[in-house]
């Protein structure tokens, strides 16, 4: 009689342990899903920032092109002024040409320096942001690998087919989610 009672108690205890394990795994799965979603949103945010920085760089390049066109126009005008001034005294023409050329050179140097500084600052900001994002993703990947290892360990310890199958499905889902996050971070879309 005691043996039957002990067997029933062991079955009840085993059943409760299985239910507790299933609840814990479900809670961990939900937490991992939420964490994965947060990382995905953060990755999308970083990609948007990178796109904005590229747009700003393109705007600066366009402005530099317009400045170069303006400089070319000024050079053309200088050439025209030089031809027109040839009828005047040579000394006056040379003096005006040199003054205008000096102004253009100074302005060109100033604009070039300003553009280089802006591009340098944006490049540094972009590099810093990209490094921070890469470091964050590396840390997140380490955490996910640790979590995956924990899930794998739990799967190995489990002797029940239902739990093993569920754990394998969860593991496959986590790996797929990690791959998708990495691809999105690299800018590869589906």
Domain ranges, residue 106: 40-185
The structural domain count of the chain equals 1
Burial 61-83 (b: 16+ CB within 10 A, else e): eeebeebeeebeebeeeeeeeee
For the stretch 97-153, pLDDT in tens is 888 888 888 888 888 888 788 788 887 877 777 777 777 777 877 777 787 777 667
**Single pTM value for the model:** 0.30
Taking residue 167's Cβ as centre, other Cβ atoms within 10 Å add up to 21
pLDDT at 65: 81
pLDDT tier at 27, thresholds 50, 70, 90: confident
pLDDT tier at 88, thresholds 50, 70, 90: low
Domain assignment of residue 116, yes or no: yes
Angle (CA) 162-164-167 rounded to 5° is 110
Domain assignment of residue 108, yes or no: yes
């Amino acid at each position: 009689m005691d043996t039957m009672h002990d067997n029933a108690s062991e079955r009840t205890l085993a059943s409760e342990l299985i239910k507790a394990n299933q609840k814990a795994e479900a809670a961990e799965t939900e937490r991992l899903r939420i964490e994965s979603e947060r990382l995905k949103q953060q990755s999308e945010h970083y990609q948007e920032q990178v796109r904005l920085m590229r747009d700003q760089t393109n705007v600066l390049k366009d402005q530099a092109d317009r400045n170069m066109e303006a400089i070319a126009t000024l050079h053309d005008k200088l050439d025209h002024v030089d031809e027109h001034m040839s009828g005047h005294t040579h000394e006056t023409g040379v003096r005006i040409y040199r003054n205008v050329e000096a102004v253009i050179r100074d302005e060109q140097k100033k604009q070039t320096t300003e553009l280089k500084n802006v591009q340098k600052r944006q490049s540094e900001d972009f590099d810093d942001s990209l490094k921070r994002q890469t470091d964050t993703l590396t840390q997140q990947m380490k955490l996910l690998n640790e979590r995956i290892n924990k899930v794998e360990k739990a799967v190995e310890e489990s002797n029940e087919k239902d739990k093993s199958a569920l754990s394998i499905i969860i593991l496959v889902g986590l790996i797929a989610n990690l791959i998708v996050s990495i691809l999105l971070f690299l800018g590869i879309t589906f």
